[in-house]
Structure 1
Amino acid sequence: MIYLTRREVFSASHRIYNPELSDEENFKLYGKCSNPNGHGHNYEIEVTVAGEVNPETGYVIDLNHLKEIIREYVIEKLDHKNLNVDVDFLKGKIPTAENILIAIWEQLKDKIPDGKLYSIKLYETENNYVEYRGE
């Protein structure tokens, strides 16, 4: 089994808060991440596809095709956006790194034509990242 990974970057803002809680409760739970005006990150995403090497192409998946898929279904929808307001597939979700990552998985899971989506990592800062391997 080969594991092939493509890395992309995007910048986005968000406010982490639960609308069912008061501002005081949100601050107690999420700290400065619940600032009413939000805050931003320069995110990095790593998408890993697992599979066997196709003997005709020598690829698990063509990296240019994987790049196009990630850019169309993820980067174009998230880059320079407010994750609370501008992103349809995040509507109604608290935009924590965990929830963003699960939503990205849902965007990509049926779009990989060769191999199988194995994992996605989302780096929110240089020190913090989350990884998801599906359901």
Structure 2
Amino acid sequence: MSELTICRAEHFNAAHRLHNPAWDEARNQQVFGKCNNPNYHGHNYNLEVRLTGPIDPETGYVYDLKALGTLIKREVLNRFDHKNLNLDTEEFRVLNPTAENIAVVIWNRLRPALPASLKLAVTLHETDRNFVEYDGGA
């Protein structure tokens, strides 16, 4: 049977500061610019989670989208929405919360809860023009 991709879109709001503590303030400012604001700044993140796999002949689903929404709420939204990623989350206390790192963290939080037979990809839009995509690097 051929494979099909299903998608679930969600959004969350979070603040962060891009900063490398091994660098001085001048280097951080040069590399991260206004994203290095010591008082943080926020984004309205748009998240797209895609699962690819065969359609189950009994249910007609690749995966139950309601169950996927519940999983995303538990593993991502409840954890990151309306949070300061640097201060309020364990994942980003030492990991720079770039869009790239956030996408990888989200993928790693979702992957263990999904059937291994399904391919998982995450797209995270930080702004309307800037977004990243991660599929586990396989």
The TM-score with structure 1 as length reference comes to 0.96
Matched, 1:77 2:54: no
Aligned length: 135
Match of 1:38 in 2: 40
CA-atom RMSD in angstroms: 1.2
The percentage of aligned residue pairs carrying the same residue is 44
Contact 2:9 2:48 in 1 (8 A): yes
Match of 1:97 in 2: 99
How far apart, in 2, do the equivalents of 1:38 and 1:89 lie? 17
How far apart, in 2, do the equivalents of 1:2 and 1:91 lie? 37
How far apart, in 2, do the equivalents of 1:121 and 1:51 lie? 18
How far apart, in 1, do the equivalents of 2:30 and 2:123 lie? 28
Match of 1:23 in 2: 25
Match of 2:5 in 1: 3
Contact 1:90 1:103 in 2 (8 A): no
Structure 2 unaligned segments of length 5 or more: list them: none
CA drift of 1:25 comes to 1.2
Structure 1 unaligned segments of length 5 or more: list them: none
How far apart, in 1, do the equivalents of 2:67 and 2:9 lie? 13
Match of 2:15 in 1: 13
Matched, 1:50 2:62: no
How far apart, in 1, do the equivalents of 2:58 and 2:92 lie? 39
Moved more, 83-92 or 21-30: 83-92
After the TM superposition, which residues 92-131 of structure 1 pair with which residues of structure 2 at under 5 Å, given as runs?
92-113=94-115, 115-131=117-133
CA drift of 1:114 comes to 7.6
The TM-score with structure 2 as length reference comes to 0.94
Moved more, 86-95 or 22-31: 86-95
Letter in 2 for 1:54: D
Q: For residue 72 of structure 1, give the secondary structure of its aligned residue in structure 2.
A: helix
How far apart, in 2, do the equivalents of 1:125 and 1:53 lie? 33
